[in-house]
C-alpha cells in the first residue's frame, strides 16, 4: 500500500535539519556538564570524541533557518516577518533567559549580571546560559531577512552570478577564519573580541548556501548526488583531523572552549554534515517516510526546546543527584541526555498547549462579553 504520509505533512528538508541540530545542541550541553563526572582520561576522551561528532549544530541551524526563510518568505513584508519572529523566537528566548538568571544564576557565562547594564548585556550577548549565544547569533539572520531575500531572488536571479559569489564568499570567509585564529583564539584579542563567535559574519557562508540550496534546488541536489559516495569517508577523515587538533591541548583541564567553529577543519566538517543530513532529509521526503510526522512535530518545537534545554538539564542533574556517579559513565551520560531531551520538548509542548487553552478562554470570554452588550 502506498504511504501517503508526506501528503499530509507540510515538511521540507529544513525541518529535518533543525531536528538534527537541536539534538546535537542538547547533547553538547550535556557533554559540557558531564566534564565534572569524568574521572579518567578514557572518560574525557569519550566526551571529546562525541563533542567533535556533534560540533555541527550552529552551521546546520543557520543553513536550515535560511533555507526555510528563503523558501517561505519571497513575498513576505519585512514588518510582518519581524512581528511573527518576535513572538516565535524572541519571547521564548527572553523568558528562558530570565528564568535561568532568576533560578540558576550559576550557569551564566563570561560577564555575570551585577547591574542593570550587565543584565541588558547578558540578554544582548546571550550570557544568561551557555546555549544562548546560539540564539543571539541566529536572530541576526532573521533581522537580515530582507537582504537575504534580495540576494537570493534578485541578485542571484542570473545563474552565472552564483559561482563567482561563492568563490568570493569562501575567500572572504577563509580570511575571516585566519583572522580569528591569529588574533582572537588564544591571540592578542582573545578577551576584547571574544564575542565574534556569535557575530553573523562568522557563519554567513552557511546562510548563503542555505539560500542557494532552495533557489537552485535542482542544481544543488544534482551536485550532491554526484559527490554523495565520498561524503562519509571525507567526514570520517575530517573527524580524525578535528580530534587530533582538540586532543593536542591535552587532558589536563580539558575545555570544550578549545573546540571552536571558526577554523578550517570544523568548517569543512560542518559543510559535509549539512550535505549528509540534507540528503537524508530529501531521501525520507521522497519515500514519504512514516517518520515524517515525528520530524515535523520535533521541528515545530525544536527552537523552544533548545532555549529550555540547559535550564531543564540543571533540574535533571539535581533530581538524579548521586545516581549519576554510581552508574557506568556512558550509561549515566545517555540517561541524562534522553531525560533532558524528553523534558525540554515536554515542557515547551505543555506551555504551547497552555497558551492555546488560555487564548481560547480569552476569546470565549470576549465573545460572551460582546453578546451581553
Q: How confident is the model at residue 6 (pLDDT cuts 50, 70, 90)?
A: very low
Average pLDDT of the residues in 222-228: 96
Q: Is pLDDT at 7 greater than 60 in this prediction?
A: no
pTM of the model: 0.94
Q: Is pLDDT at 202 greater than 70 in this prediction?
A: yes
Q: How does pLDDT run across 91-104, given as a tens digit for each residue?
A: 999 999 999 999 99
- Contact (CB, 8 A) for 89 and 142: yes
Q: How does pLDDT run across 235-293, given as a tens digit for each residue?
A: 999 999 999 999 999 998 889 999 999 999 999 999 999 999 999 999 999 999 999 99
Average pLDDT of the residues in 339-364: 92
pLDDT for 366: 72
Residue 329: its H or E element: helix 329-372
Nearest to 137 by CA among 54, 55, 202, 71: 202
- Contact (CB, 8 A) for 314 and 102: no
pLDDT for 9: 79
- Nine-digit cell at 5? 504520509
Q: Is pLDDT at 182 greater than 60 in this prediction?
A: yes
Nearest to 142 by CA among 91, 81, 204: 81
Counting other chains too, the contacts that 173-176 makes at CB distance below 8 Å and 24 or more residues apart are 173/204, 173/205, 173/267, 174/264, 176/201, 176/202, 176/262
Q: Residue 353: is it exposed, middle or buried by C-beta count within 10 angstroms (0-12/13-18/19+)?
A: exposed
Q: Residue 85: is it exposed, middle or buried by C-beta count within 10 angstroms (0-12/13-18/19+)?
A: middle
In the chain, % of residues over pLDDT 90: 88
Q: How confident is the model at residue 372 (pLDDT cuts 50, 70, 90)?
A: low
Q: Locate all alpha helices (DSSP H) within 287-328, ordered by sequence.
A: 292-300, 302-320, 323-326
pLDDT for 363: 76
Phi-psi region of 110 (alpha: psi -120 to 50; beta: other; left: phi over 0): left
DSSP string, 123-148: HHHTTTSTTHHHHHHHHHHHHTHHHH
Q: Is pLDDT at 8 greater than 80 in this prediction?
A: no
Q: Is pLDDT at 339 greater than 90 in this prediction?
A: yes
Q: How does pLDDT run across 120-145, given as a tens digit for each residue?
A: 999 999 999 989 999 999 999 999 99
Q: How does pLDDT run across 58-116, given as a tens digit for each residue?
A: 999 999 999 999 999 999 999 999 999 999 999 999 999 999 999 999 999 988 999 99
Q: How confident is the model at residue 369 (pLDDT cuts 50, 70, 90)?
A: low
CA angle 345, 351, 354 (to 5 degrees): 140
Measure Cα distances from 270 to 141, 265, 329 in Å.
18, 9, 28
Q: How many angstroms separate the CA atoms of 305 and 26, rounded?
A: 9
Q: Is 154 helix (H, G, I), strand (E, B) or coil?
A: coil
pLDDT for 2: 42
- Nine-digit cell at 336? 541524562
- Contact (CB, 8 A) for 220 and 213: yes
Q: How confident is the model at residue 373 (pLDDT cuts 50, 70, 90)?
A: low
pLDDT for 1: 38
Q: Is pLDDT at 57 greater than 60 in this prediction?
A: yes
Q: How many angstroms separate the CA atoms of 175 and 193, rounded?
A: 16
Q: How does pLDDT run across 150-173, given as a tens digit for each residue?
A: 999 999 999 999 999 999 999 999
Amino acid at each position: 500500500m502506498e504511504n501517503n504520509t508526506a501528503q499530509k505533512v507540510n515538511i521540507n528538508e529544513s525541518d529535518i535539519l533543525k531536528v538534527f541540530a537541536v539534538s546535537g545542541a542538547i547533547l553538547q550541553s550535556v557533554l559540557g556538564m558531564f566534564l565534572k563526572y569524568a574521572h579518567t582520561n578514557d572518560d574525557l576522551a569519550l566526551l571529546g570524541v562525541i563533542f567533535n561528532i556533534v560540533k555541527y549544530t550552529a552551521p546546520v541551524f543557520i543553513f536550515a533557518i535560511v533555507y526555510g526563510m528563503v523558501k517561505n518568505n519571497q513575498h513576505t513584508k519585512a514588518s510582518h516577518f519581524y512581528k511573527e519572529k518576535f513572538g516565535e523566537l524572541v519571547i521564548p528566548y527572553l523568558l528562558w533567559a530570565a528564568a535561568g538568571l532568576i533560578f540558576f544564576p550559576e550557569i551564566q557565562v563570561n560577564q555575570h549580571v551585577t547591574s542593570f547594564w550587565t543584565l541588558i548585556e547578558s540578554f544582548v550577548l546571550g550570557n544568561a546560559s551557555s546555549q544562548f549565544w546560539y540564539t543571539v547569533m541566529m536572530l541576526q539572520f532573521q533581522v537580515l531577512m530582507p537582504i537575504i531575500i534580495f540576494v537570493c531572488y534578485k541578485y542571484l536571479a542570473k545563474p552565472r552570478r552564483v559561482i563567482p559569489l561563492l568563490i568570493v564568499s569562501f575567500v572572504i570567509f577563509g580570511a575571516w577564519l585566519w583572522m580569528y585564529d591569529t588574533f582572537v583564539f588564544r591571540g592578542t584579542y582573545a578577551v576584547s573580541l571574544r564575542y565574534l563567535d556569535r557575530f553573523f559574519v562568522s557563519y554567513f557562508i552557511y546562510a548563503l548556501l542555505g539560500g542557494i540550496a532552495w533557489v537552485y534546488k535542482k542544481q544543488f541536489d544534482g551536485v550532491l548526488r554526484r559527490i554523495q559516495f565520498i561524503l562519509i569517508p571525507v567526514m570520517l577523515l575530517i573527524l580524525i583531523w578535528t580530534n587530533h587538533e582538540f586532543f593536542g591541548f591535552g587532558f589536563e583541564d580539558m575545555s570544550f572552549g578549545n573546540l571552536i567553529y571558526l577554523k578550517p577543519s570544523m568548517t569543512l566538517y560542518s559543510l559535509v554534515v549539512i550535505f549528509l543530513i540534507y540528503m537524508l532529509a530529501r531521501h525520507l521526503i521522497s519515500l514519504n517516510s512514516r517518520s515524517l510526522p515525528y520530524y515535523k512535530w520535533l521541528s515545530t518545537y525544536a527552537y523552544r526546546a533548545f532555549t529550555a534545554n540547559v535550564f531543564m538539564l540543571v533540574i535533571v542533574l539535581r533530581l538524579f543527584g548521586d545516581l549519576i556517579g554510581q552508574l557506568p559513565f556512558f550509561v549515566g551520560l545517555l540517561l541524562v541526555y534522553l531525560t533532558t531531551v524528553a523534558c525540554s520538548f515536554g515542557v515547551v509542548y505543555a506551555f504551547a498547549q497552555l497558551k492555546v487553552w488560555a487564548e481560547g478562554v480569552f476569546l470565549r470570554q470576549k465573545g460572551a462579553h460582546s453578546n451581553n452588550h
